[in-house]
Amino acid sequence: QWDPHFIGNRQGIVHLFEWKWLDIADECETFLGPNNFGGVQTSVANENVIISGRPWYERYQPMSFKLETRSGNEKEFREMVVRCRNAGIRIYVDVVVNHMAASQPSTPAIGTAGSEAYPSDRWYPAVPFNKSDFNTACSIENYNDPKQVRDCELAGLPDLDQGRKDVRDKIIEYLNHLIDLGVAGYRMDACKHMWPKDLRVIYSRVKPLSKQNGFVQGSRPFFFQEVIDLGNEAVKRQEYISLGTVTEFTYSTQIGMVFRKIERDLSALKNWGPPSGFLPSRYSFVFVCNHDNQRGHGSGGDMILTYKDKDLFIKASAFMLAHPHGGNHPRLMSSFYFDDPSQGPPQNSNGDIISREIESNGTCSNGWVCEHRWPEIVKMVKFRAITDKTVVIGFTNIAKNQISFCRGRKGFVAINNSDQPLSATVNACLPNGVYCDVISGDKVDGKCTGTSVNVRAGKAHIEIPSSSFGFLAIHLESRL
Q: Which of 23, 226, 239, 248 is catalytic?
A: 226
- Smallest gap from Cβ 140 to Ca ion, in A, equals 9
Cβ-contact 273, 281 below 8 angstroms: yes
Note if 189 is an active site residue.
Answer: yes
CA 429 to CA 408: how far, in whole Å?
7
Q: Which of 41, 42, 43, 61 binds ligand LAG (CB under 6 A)?
A: 61
Binding residues among 282-341 for ligand LAG as defined by CB under 6 A? 292, 297
Residues 55, 78: Cα–Cα separation, whole Å:
26
Of 243 and 318, which CB lies nearer to ligand LAG in the complex structure?
243
Residues in 96-115 at the binding interface with ligand LAG, rule: CB under 6 A: 96, 102
Q: Which of 361, 381, 362 is nearest to 438 (CA)?
A: 381
Minimum distance from residue 113 beta carbon to ligand LAG (Å): 17
Using only C-alpha atoms, the chain has a radius of gyration, in whole angstroms, of 23
Strand, helix or coil at 168? helix
Site pattern 93..112 for Ca ion (x: CB under 5 A) = -----x--------------
E runs forming strands in 211-369? 222-225, 245-247, 284-285, 331-334, 357-358, 364-365
Q: Between 98 and 252, name the residue whose CB sits nearer to Ca ion.
A: 98
The rounded distance, in Å, linking the Cα atoms of 98 and 120 is: 17
Amino acid at position 159, single letter: D
Task: Indicate the residue among 114 and 156 with the shorter CB distance to ligand LAG.
Answer: 156
Contact between 57 and ligand LAG by CB under 6 A: the answer reads yes
Active-site residue among 159, 161, 189, 239?
A: 189
Among 193, 295, 372, 379, binds Ca ion (CB under 5 A): 193
- Coil/strand/helix, residue 319: helix
Based on the shown chain and the rule CB under 6 A, indicate whether residue 198 belongs to the binding site for ligand LAG: no
Q: Are residues 21 and 28 in contact, defined by beta-carbon separation less than 8 angstroms?
A: no
Q: Is 226 a catalytic residue?
A: yes
Closest distance to ligand LAG from the beta carbon of 141 (Å): 13
Give the three-class secondary structure for 271: helix
Which residue's CB is nearer to ligand LAG, number 54 or number 260?
54
C-alpha distances out from residue 20 to 80, 238, 269, 370, Å: 9, 34, 37, 14
Question: Judged by CB under 6 A, how many residues of this single chain contact ligand LAG?
Answer: 15
Closer to Ca ion by Cβ: residue 98 or 253: 98
Q: Name the binder of 159 from ligand LAG, Ca ion, none, CB < 5-8 A by kind.
A: Ca ion
397 contacts: CB under 8 Å, gap ≥ 6 = 266, 267, 270, 403
18, 94, 159, 371: which one contacts Ca ion (CB under 5 A)?
159
Residues lying near Ca ion in the complex (CB under 5 A): 98, 159, 193
Residues lying near ligand LAG in the complex (CB under 6 A): 57-58, 60-61, 96, 102, 154-157, 189-190, 226, 292, 297
Catalytic residues, by residue number, are 189, 226
